[in-house]
Chains A and B, each alone.
Chain A
Amino acid sequence: MSHAGNRVLWTVIGLLLTALGAAAAVANLGHLPGIDERAPLIWSAFRGVFRDISPWGPIVTIALGLLLAFLGWTLLRRQLRRASDPAMDEYDLRAVTGDRAADGSGPGITIVQGSSLADGLERDLTRDPQISRASVWLTGDPPTPEVRIKLYVSPQAPLSTLREYVQAAVDRFAATSGLRPRHLDITARVDAGGTARVH
């Protein structure tokens, strides 16, 4: 789940909790229409009603419990997933080259792994000694994916030179893969090269 998704989720939870707290406080003071502040939180005949509608009472409760567990499981999975956007998966090379055979049926198909291409670009980028580490993510669909790059660069690296090198690496990537990145998103992290505090 993306940071924005989590922010929306917790904004909604914050709103709900604020509304719930305010409503409960107003009800407690006896100012909420339809709620008697002298009434118990749960009607004591509730247990009888729960038993009277048997077997639907437990069935509905079990269903509610399973629904909550499913929501929890879905949220957990989304939190543990690495990227917010789905990575570009394996693709048929014909998505890039088009059908060469006139009738569309060639001698076979070639499947390319998106992650292998990303690994290749990472290796190409780290050939520059100024780049100590590079992470590449391809998202979207071929032949025009979005390319996200995270670079760990030396403090001595002049950024303009670095930009030229990265652009050249992306051009090589485009030439060899046949993909045409529709958007490049690059974040460079400059190594500290000494200790200093931030605030």
Chain B
Amino acid sequence: MRVVNRLASLLLAIILLGGGLLLAAEAAAVALDLPSLLVDRTSWFDTLTTTTVGDPVIFAIAIAVGVLGLLILLTQLRRWTPNRLAVPLADGWHLHRRSVEHRLAGAADRVPGVRDARARVRRHGDSWSSRIRAVGDPSARPQVESAVRQELDRLAAPPADRLDIELSRERRTV
């Protein structure tokens, strides 16, 4: 979401810059009685003076704008996945979340008979919760748990870590 926000802001900035300059240039063209530069002024004027507020097109546009606004609000107000996780190693120390997930998935993958492991780590207050999904015999769960816990210890994860492991015999299709 952070990258999407930055790209959207860049796009908005370019639109404001270009649109503002175009508006100023068109207004200057009107003042100097010059022909339109890019915008067909007559056509726009005719459309805006003949379309009524109650036109169904306006209703459709209003709904689209409202829904877009709500979607933007929802994406901004929901809880974002943190980029990094605090570790109790020392004050100010953090681990990059994705790199932790890669390490845990790698640890699970190294257990014989386990493959395609995927990991998800989230922060809950001072502790982490980890979820591992992999393809393999469910009886290998204790070995996977041991390998993942070892990796968490090595990464100096908080001691009260919650660990959820699910091994399935077949690759699940999403």
Residues of chain A touching chain B, judged by Cβ–Cβ distance below 8 Å, are 1, 3, 6-7, 9-11, 13-25, 27-30, 35-44, 46-47, 50, 54-55, 57-59, 61-62, 64-73, 75-76, 79-80, 155, 158-160, 163, 167, 183-199
Does more than half of chain B's interface fall in helix, strand or loop, or is it mixed?
A: helix
A9 and B90 form a contact (CB under 8 A)? no
Binary per-residue interface labels of chain B (1-45) against chain A in the complex, 1 for a CB within 8 Å, 0 otherwise: 010011011101111111111111111101100000000000001
Partner of B23, one of A1, A19, A35, A68: A68
Docked Cα-Cα span, A16 to B103, in Å, equals: 43
Chain B residue total in the interface (Cβ 8 A):
81
Of all A-B residue pairs in the complex, the 7 with the closest CB atoms, nearest first, are A21-B66, A17-B69, A72-B16, A68-B20, A65-B24, A69-B20, A72-B17
Q: Which residue of A lies closest to B30 (CB)?
A: A58
Given the known interface contacts A66-B24, A71-B16, A187-B96, the answer about A198 and B49 at a Cβ–Cβ threshold of 8 Å is: no
Inter-chain contact B94/A196, CB cutoff 8 Å:
no
With beta carbons under 8 angstroms apart, the residue of B14, B24, B87, B100 that contacts A76 is B14
Q: For the complex, what is the distance from the CA of A14 to the CA of B68, rounded to whole Å?
A: 8
A70 B20 Cβ-Cβ under 8 A: yes
Q: Does B51 contact A (CB under 8 A)?
A: yes
